[in-house]
Amino acid sequence: MSRPAPVTITPVHVADLVAEGELMPVYVHVVEHPDGRVLVDTGMTELHPAVADMDPRLRPLDEQGFDLASIDAVVNTHLHFDHCGGNVLFPGVPVYVQRQELEDARRLEGYTIREWVDSPGVTYVPVDGEHEVLPGIRLLPAPGHTRGTQVVVVETGGRPVVICGDVAVWAGELDEPTTEGQLLVRSLDPEQVWLAHTHEPWRPPAR
Ligand SMILES: [Zn+2]
């Protein structure tokens, strides 16, 4: 008797940015599922004058031995530049994003680095609301940081693990949730929550 391989989540450090005088890491997350590998957010691959003030220090996926060809699907939690800049590395791979987010990124001024959103070969799958990417890997709209933000909820057998992008930029925000997205994440009673800009996942206080 063989049991299915467990789903695992691995953070990959792809950049550092300077925000409010502090070095802020940028992470993407690989979800290893028996039916495929899903990459959540893609970081950055190059510098851009629009964000030079954040002094990006890059560790792009394609320069750290990451197996790009192994990725079966990409999820963008949202389309700010530090979450979609590596989409260009995955031509033809389905990229799941909320339709609202894609529309905002394409239309609103100053929202992101627009040419990174629609890099050549990037193949979006616009999603309206909840969507299951693979069995036990669900996308849920979680507005707040942006109105089209989504989180990735991964069933692990026990309490779920959530990959939340920037629903909380700082871990402390989940201690006292205020946005719809933060309240949603807390309502899921997660075992842990991976953020894009912290080295360690957030965990709820012991009950
Ligand atoms: Zn953001």
pLDDT digits (tens, 9 = 90+) for 161-189: 999 999 999 889 999 999 999 999 999 99
From the CA of 111, how far away is ligand 1's center (Å)? 9
Q: State how far the Cα of 207 lies from the Cα of 205, in Å rounded to an integer.
A: 6
Residue 106: partners with Cβ closer than 8 Å, 6 or more residues away: 114, 117, 118
Q: State how far the Cα of 102 lies from the Cα of 104, in Å rounded to an integer.
A: 5
Domain locations in the chain as residue ranges: 8-194
Which among 46, 29, 5 has a CA at the least distance from the CA of 157?
Answer: 5
Q: What is the pLDDT of residue 21?
A: 87
From the CA of 42, how far away is ligand 1's center (Å)? 12
What is the gyration radius of the CA atoms in the chain, in angstroms? 16
From the CA of 162, how far away is ligand 1's center (Å)? 16
Cα pseudo-dihedral 42, 91, 140, 143, rounded to 10: 60
From the CA of 68, how far away is ligand 1's center (Å)? 23
What does the pLDDT profile of the chain (207 residues) look like in tens digits? Answer: 555 568 999 999 999 999 888 899 999 999 999 999 999 999 999 999 998 889 999 999 999 999 999 999 999 999 999 999 999 999 999 999 999 999 999 999 999 999 999 999 999 999 999 999 999 999 999 999 999 999 999 998 899 999 999 999 988 999 999 999 999 999 999 999 999 999 999 999 886
From the CA of 166, how far away is ligand 1's center (Å)? 5
The yes or no reply on domain 8-194 and CATH 3.60.15.10 is yes
Q: Buried b / exposed e across 109-137, counting CB within 10 Å, b at 16+?
A: eebbbbebbebeebebbebeeebebbebb
Considering the chain, what percentage of its residues have pLDDT values greater than 70? Answer: 97
From the CA of 103, how far away is ligand 1's center (Å)? 16
From the CA of 93, how far away is ligand 1's center (Å)? 22
From the CA of 94, how far away is ligand 1's center (Å)? 21
